[in-house]
């Protein structure tokens, strides 16, 4: 080992030590990287309270952990992720930063009724926030609820209200259906709360959606909703007309515009009609009463009251009889209740502009207006497709005008070359353009690195080619002066070792000429090559 080290130069020893140090550092950082790469997320997107409680619990268990830069992600060794999650779940962690109904797990006998109500509202808000935050597009959520206030006076009653603030994940978006689902979720969990009384907004203060049938105090929908409703009807009418006329006229040969006037007033109408000619018996009541009594008559005195009276008693019949009948008649009655819907169409106005027809003649291409029969057919089709009603005041304006002032060139005339329009970029290039200067900087750095590598490779190949071309031959006077005078024999020996193989005389002469020209053009490099040969011969 000592003999080996003695044969090494200082440069070689320094190179070996440097390689050993670099290898040791590389192994150390590789082992450390493997160890750090083994950490897996235990929980992500944690609130500050939950992150602190989890870190404290990990410290007590002597578990190695890592925290992300924002402190919201806790990482632990991958082999203990499942075990730690079960252990922390048994302790009720994480709580997502919100207190739910676990607030009532411990009974507080000294709490007043007001404190109980406040705790109940806190627990309900926490549970609702957890439910909203469990959505895929929501990172965090806050819920505020106002319970209804009852009173014996109608004016003093206040309905329940709620507001929901959501923080969306990066790149996530809530659709109108998602916002309505959040409103329905909150309204169903709070007694007396309607979905129209729930406001949903993001952390930037943007209102994410309004109720589908929101109404103002006067019973009219907001102006924005009316405008959207009217525009939707107009787009539908224009689409119907375009679908009808496109097979007849062709694409881009007509223009359609629609204007709709809607009635957004609403109410109820009740109507009650009586028909005297169609009266019917409603009730009939008949009562009959009779009472009768027997009266005796005869000669007054004792003789008539003896057992065997001399005169017969005369019986006189008597009584009362009464009969009552009551019949009630009522005329025919018709009751009609009509509810006037909102958004009824009052009037429709349509405008259709038709392009001129192009015809090819011996003199060239000419444009002509459509015929009257064709315009009549178009009017009938548009009227039927849009459902126009003249009695309602609907109108249709149909005109024909040339869309291009200059007719196109004839088939025999060469067309004028069109200017080069900007072409759409490929998807991958469009994606790179959207990435910003970072990607372009990285691409430029990579291109610069490739250029540097190519430069060094070219330089190395050039040097090698110079060494291969260089050989024995005549040196310029300046080169001969630089060669030591004590080494003529070595020069001859080196020249003999590097002598060229026997070739044809013509080829030998050409090769010698090329070697001479190379030595004349770069004398210093030739001297360096020659010295290298001499040093190899000395060794």
CATH code: domain of residue 74: 3.30.70.1530
Same domain flag for 114 and 75? no
**What's the sign of the alpha-carbon dihedral 272, 273, 278, 281?**
positive
Distance CA 59, CA 65 (A): 9
Q: Which of residues 363, 381, 401 is at a domain's end? A: 401
Say if residue 423's pLDDT is above 60: no
164 and 45, same structural domain? no
Residues 243 and 384 in one domain: yes
Let me know if residue 220 belongs to a domain.
Answer: no
Q: How many CB atoms lie within 10 A of CB 207?
A: 10
CATH code (residue 167): 3.30.300.30
Can you give the pLDDT at residue 384?
92
- Among residues 94, 116, 141, which one ends one of the domains? 94
Q: Range of 396's domain?
A: 230-264+345-401
Which two structure tokens, joined as six digits, stand for 305? 């009251």
Tokens of 162: 């709620």
For the residues of 36-50, what is the DSSP string, one character each?
HHTEEEEE-S--HHH
Q: 381 in a domain, yes or no? A: yes
**87 and 110 share a domain?**
no
Peptide bond into 286 cis (omega under 30): no
| 243-286 confidence digits (pLDDT tens) | 999 988 888 889 999 999 988 887 788 888 877 777 777 788 88
**What does the pLDDT look like over 463-501, one tens digit per residue?**
655 544 444 444 444 444 444 444 555 545 544 554 445
Asked if 148 contacts 136 with a C-beta cutoff of 8 angstroms, the reply is no
111 & 35 share domain: no
- pLDDT band with cut points at 50, 70 and 90 for residue 440: low
Which pLDDT value is given to residue 361?
A: 76
Mean pLDDT, rounded, of the chain: 75
Predicted pLDDT of residue 377: 92
Is 522 domain-assigned? Answer: no
DSSP assignment, residue 474?
Answer: P
The tokens for 199 are 């406001």
Given a cut of 90, whether residue 362 has pLDDT beyond it is no
Is residue 193 domain-shared with residue 66, that is, in the same domain?
no
Q: Which two tokens stand for residue 257?
A: 């515009």
* Predicted pLDDT at 297: 60
Highest mean pLDDT among 41-45, 137-141, 151-155, 415-419: 137-141
Q: Among 140-144, 184-188, 341-345, 435-439, whose mean pLDDT is lowest?
A: 435-439
| Residue 65, in any domain of the structure | yes
Structure confidence at residue 215 (pLDDT): 47
Backbone angles phi, psi at 439, to 5 degrees: -65, -40
Q: For the segment 124-134, what is each residue's pLDDT rounded down to a tens digit?
A: 888 898 888 88
Q: Are residues 234 and 161 in the same domain?
A: no
How far apart (Å, rounded) are the C-alpha atoms in residues 459 and 465? 10
Regarding beta strands 267-297 and 357-361, do their DSSP bridges make them parallel or antiparallel, or are they unpaired?
unpaired
195 plus 108 within the same structural domain: yes
258 assigned to some structural domain = yes
Residue 119 half-sphere exposure toward CB, CA atoms < 13 A: 14
Residues 247 and 386 in one domain: yes
Structural domain includes residue 131: yes
Lowest-confidence region among 78-87, 149-158, 183-192, 416-425:
416-425
Task: Write down the pTM of the prediction.
Answer: 0.40
Same domain, residue pair 50 and 139? no
Residue 340 within a domain: no
How many separate domains does the chain show?
3
Contact indicator for 297, 391 with CB cutoff of 8 Å: no
Confirm whether 18 is domain-assigned.
yes
* Pair (112, 199) in one structural domain: yes
Contact in structure between 278 and 272 (CB atoms under 8 Å): no
pLDDT of res. 436: 53
pLDDT for residue 503: 47
Is 41 in the same domain as 76?
yes
Residue 492, pLDDT score: 52
User: Where among 361, 381, 401 does a domain terminate?
Assistant: 401
Please spell the DSSP secondary structure of 408-445, one letter per residue. PPPSSSPPPPPP-PPPPPPHHHHHHHHH-HHHHHHHHH
Confidence grade of residue 214 (pLDDT, cut at 50, 70, 90): very low
Most confident of 339-343, 456-460, 470-474, 534-538: 339-343
């Amino acid at each position: 080992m000592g003999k080996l080290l003695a044969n090494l130069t200082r440069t070689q020893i320094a190179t070996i030590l440097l390689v050993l140090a670099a290898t040791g550092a590389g192994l150390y950082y590789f082992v450390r990287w493997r160890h750090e790469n083994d950490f897996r997320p235990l929980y992500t997107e944690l609130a500050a309270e939950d992150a602190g409680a989890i870190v404290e619990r990990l410290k007590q268990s002597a578990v190695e952990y890592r925290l992300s830069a924002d402190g919201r992600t806790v990482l632990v060794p991958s082999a203990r992720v499942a075990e730690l999650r079960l252990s922390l779940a048994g302790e009720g962690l994480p709580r997502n930063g919100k207190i739910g109904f676990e607030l009532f797990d411990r009974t507080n006998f000294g709490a007043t009724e007001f404190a109980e109500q406040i705790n109940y509202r806190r627990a309900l808000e926490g549970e609702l926030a957890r439910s909203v935050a469990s959505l895929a597009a929501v990172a965090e959520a806050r819920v505020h609820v106002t319970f209804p206030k009852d009173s014996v006076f109608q004016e003093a009653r206040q309905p329940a209200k709620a507001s929901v603030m959501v923080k969306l994940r990066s790149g996530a978006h809530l659709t109108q259906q998602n916002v309505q689902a959040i409103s329905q979720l909150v309204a169903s969990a709070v007694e007396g709360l309607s979905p129209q009384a729930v406001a949903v907004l993001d952390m930037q203060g943007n209102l994410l959606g309004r109720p589908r049938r929101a109404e103002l105090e006067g019973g009219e929908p907001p102006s924005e909703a009316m405008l959207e409703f009217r525009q939707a009807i107009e787009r539908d009418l224009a689409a119907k007309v375009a679908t009808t006329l496109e097979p007849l006229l062709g694409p881009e040969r007509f223009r359609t515009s629609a204007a709709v006037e809607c009635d957004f007033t609403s109410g109820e109408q009740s109507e009650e009609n009586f028909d005297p000619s169609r009266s019917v018996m409603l009730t009939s009541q008949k009562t009959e009463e009779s009472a009768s009594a027997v009266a005796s008559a005869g000669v007054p005195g004792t003789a008539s009251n003896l057992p065997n009276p001399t005169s017969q008693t005369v019986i006189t019949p008597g009584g009362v009889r009464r009969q009552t009948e009551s019949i009630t008649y009522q005329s025919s009655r018709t009751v009609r209740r009509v509810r006037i819907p909102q958004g009824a169409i009052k009037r429709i106005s349509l405008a259709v502009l038709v392009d001129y027809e192009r015809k090819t003649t011996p003199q060239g291409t000419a444009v002509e207006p459509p015929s009257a029969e064709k315009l009549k057919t178009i009017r009938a089709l548009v009227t039927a497709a849009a459902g126009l009603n003249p009695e309602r005041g609907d109108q249709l304006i149909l005109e024909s005008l040339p869309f291009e002032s200059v007719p196109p060139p004839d088939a025999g005339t060469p067309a004028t070359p069109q200017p080069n329009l900007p072409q759409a970029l490929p998807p991958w290039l469009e994606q790179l353009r959207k990435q910003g200067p970072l990607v372009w900087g990285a691409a430029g750095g990579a291109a610069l690195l490739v250029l540097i590598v190519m430069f060094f490779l070219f330089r190395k190949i050039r040097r090698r080619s110079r060494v291969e071309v260089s050989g024995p031959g005549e040196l310029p006077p300046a080169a001969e002066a630089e060669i030591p005078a004590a080494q003529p024999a070595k020069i001859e020996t080196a020249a003999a070792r590097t002598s060229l193989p026997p070739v044809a005389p013509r080829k030998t002469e050409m090769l010698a000429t090329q070697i001479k020209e190379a030595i004349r053009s770069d004398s210093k490099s030739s001297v360096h090559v020659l010295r290298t040969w001499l040093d190899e011969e000395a060794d």
